[in-house]
Amino acid sequence: MALKEEQAGTAVSSAGSSGMEQFHAKAHYWGRLTVWAALILTVSLPVVLSFFLGHHPGWNVILSAFLAYAGIVAVVWVLEPMMYYTILGVSGTYIGFLTGNVGNMCLPAAASAQNAVGAEPGTKKGEITATLAIGAASLVNKVFLIPMILVGALLISRIPDHIQQVFPFILPAIFGGVLAQFAIKKPIYGVIGLAVGFVINLTPLVVYMKMLLCIIITIGICLLLERKNVTKTAQ
Amino acid sequence: MEEAMRLASGFAVWMIALMVLGVVIFQAVKFILLARDAGRDIGMAKHEINSAIKTGAITAIGPTVAIVIVALSLIPFLGEPLTLMRIGIIGSAPIESVGASLGANAYGTELGSTGFNTQAFTAVVWTLCLGGAGWLLFVALATKSMSKLEKKVINKSDKNKKIMMVVATAAMVAAFGNLASAEMVKGMEYIAAVLVASASMFIFTSLADKLQKNWIREWSLGLSILVSLVVGYFII
C-alpha cells in the first residue's frame, strides 16, 4: 500500500493522458488475467465432476444440451460486451462481465457515481468513476451474497407474505430511479430513451434484440438532435 | 434427487465456487486500486474518488437484495455453491434457469424431479459453465481490440470525441429506457414503481442541489428504491 502511494505521488506530475494510457495497459493485463483464471476455474468444475468423481453423463447429453443453450445465448456472448463497451469502458467491461449483473447492478452503480461526482459518461473522469463504482459494487455484492445465500432461505421464509409482495418492484424501482438521473441532466434524452424502449417492448422481439435495437435507435436520434443543435448555434 | 443434491453441495463444488469468487473479489480490489491511482493522475480530487466508491457500494445494496431473492429460487434445484457461482459471475438468474432446464432435459429428466441424479446434475453443470464461458472468452479476447478501435476514432478529431460522449450517454439512457419499459409493460403496479422511483430521484437530487449535500446524491438511488417499495406496499 505504502509503495503504491509513492508511485502515485510521482506519477501526478505526468500528464493526464499518459496516466490513462498506463491505466488501460494495466487494466488489460489484470483484466485478461482474472477473466482467464475465472474461465479455467469454471470449466474445471464439470471436468472434475465428470472425470474425477465419476458422474459423467456422456458427451451426447452434454453436446445436445450445450448446443440448445448456445442457440439461445451465443449471439448475446458477442452482442452484450460490444453494446455495453461504450458505457463501461475497458476496465468496466472486465469487471462487469466477470461479476455479472451488468444491467441491474453495474450500470446503475456507474451512473449514480457519475451523477454524484459530476462526471460525464465517455470522458476520462467518467470512465475512472465508473470503474471505482463498479468495483465497489462488485465487492459489496460478493460480500453480501455469500451469507445471504447461506441464511437467505431461512430469512426469507420469516419475512411476512405481505412484505414479500413488494420484492418484484425492486427492479423497476432501480431502473426508474436511474432513468430519472439522466432525465434531470438531459430531459430530452430521458424522454427518447423511455419512448423508444416502450415501443420496442410492445413488439414480440427476443430480449437481446430489444436491447440492441433500443441502443442503436436512441443513439441515432440523439446524434441527429445534437447535430441540429450544433448547426443552430452556429447560425 | 437426494444424491444429486448431496453432490451439489459437496466439497468439490464448494471449493471451485469459492475460488471463482476469490478471483472476482481480487479483481474488484485490484481495479479499485488501479482506478484510484489513475484518478489522481487525471486530477480527480480525493473526495471525488471516495464518493465514487461510496456511491457504487451503496447502489449495489438494492440490486443485491433482488439478486439474492431470485438466487434463492434456484437453490432447491442447483444447490448453494453452484447458484452462488452462476449468479456471482456473469449469470443472471433467468438465463441460468433456462440453461439448467436444458441440461436436465438433455439427460432425459427435469430439475427437481425424482430422476434428477448426479449425472443429470453434472449435465446441468456442463451446460451452465460452458454457456457462461462464452461471455468470458469474448471479453478476454476482444476487449483490447474494442479499445484500440475506440482510441482510433477518438484521436482522429475533437468532433469525434464529442460524438463519443453523446454515444456513451445515449447508450446508457437507452439501456435504462429499455430495462424500465420491459418492467412497465408488466402492469400498472410496475408502472407505478418506475414512476415513484423517478419522482423520488427528482426530489432527492434537487434537495442535494439546494442543501449542497453530496451524501444525499450518494444515497439517492437507494432511498428512491425504498420510497418506491413503501408506496408499492400500500398500493397492493
pLDDT, tens digit (0-9, with 9 covering 90-100), for B37-83 = 999 999 999 999 999 999 999 999 988 887 887 777 778 788 889 98
Cβ of A42 and B143 within 8 Å?
A: no
The confidence band for A155, taking pLDDT boundaries of 50, 70 and 90, is confident
Cβ of B48 and A196 within 8 Å?
A: no
Cβ of B233 and A124 within 8 Å?
A: no
A79 class by beta-carbon count within 10 Å (0-12 exposed, 13-18 middle, 19+ buried): middle
Q: In the 8-state DSSP scheme, what is residue A159? A: S
- Is residue B236 less than 8 Å (CB to CB) from chain A? yes
Confidence at residue A156, expressed as pLDDT on a 0 to 100 scale: 67
- Is residue B95 less than 8 Å (CB to CB) from chain A? yes
Give A189's contacts in chain B (Cβ within 8 Å).
169-170, 173
* % of chain A surpassing 90 pLDDT: 46
CA–CA distance, A116 with B26 (Å, rounded to integer): 26
Confidence at residue A5, expressed as pLDDT on a 0 to 100 scale: 41
Residues B104 and B75: beta-carbon distance below 8 Å: no
Give B24's contacts in chain A (Cβ within 8 Å).
34, 38, 98-99, 138, 142
Q: Which residue of B has its CA nearest to A22?
A: B38
Residues A194 and A182: beta-carbon distance below 8 Å: no
Cβ of A120 and B169 within 8 Å?
A: yes
Among candidate residues B165, B161, B39, B30, the one with its CA nearest the CA of residue A16: B39
Q: Distance between terminal CA atoms of chain B? A: 38
CA–CA distance, B172 with B150 (Å, rounded to integer): 17
Reduced to 3 states (helix: H, G, I; strand: E, B; else coil), residue B94 is helix
| H helices present in chain B, as ranges | 2-8, 11-41, 46-78, 80-88, 93-106, 118-156, 158-184, 188-211, 214-235
ipTM of the prediction greater than 0.90, yes or no? no
Give A39's contacts in chain B (Cβ within 8 Å).
133, 136-137, 140
Contacts of B7 (CB under 8 A, 6+ apart): A49, A53, A55, B13, B118, B121
Cβ of B179 and A91 within 8 Å?
A: no
pLDDT exceeds cutoff 50 at A3: no
pTM of the model: 0.81
What count of other Cβ atoms lies within 10 Å of the Cβ of residue A104? 20
What's the distance, CA B21 to chain centroid?
14
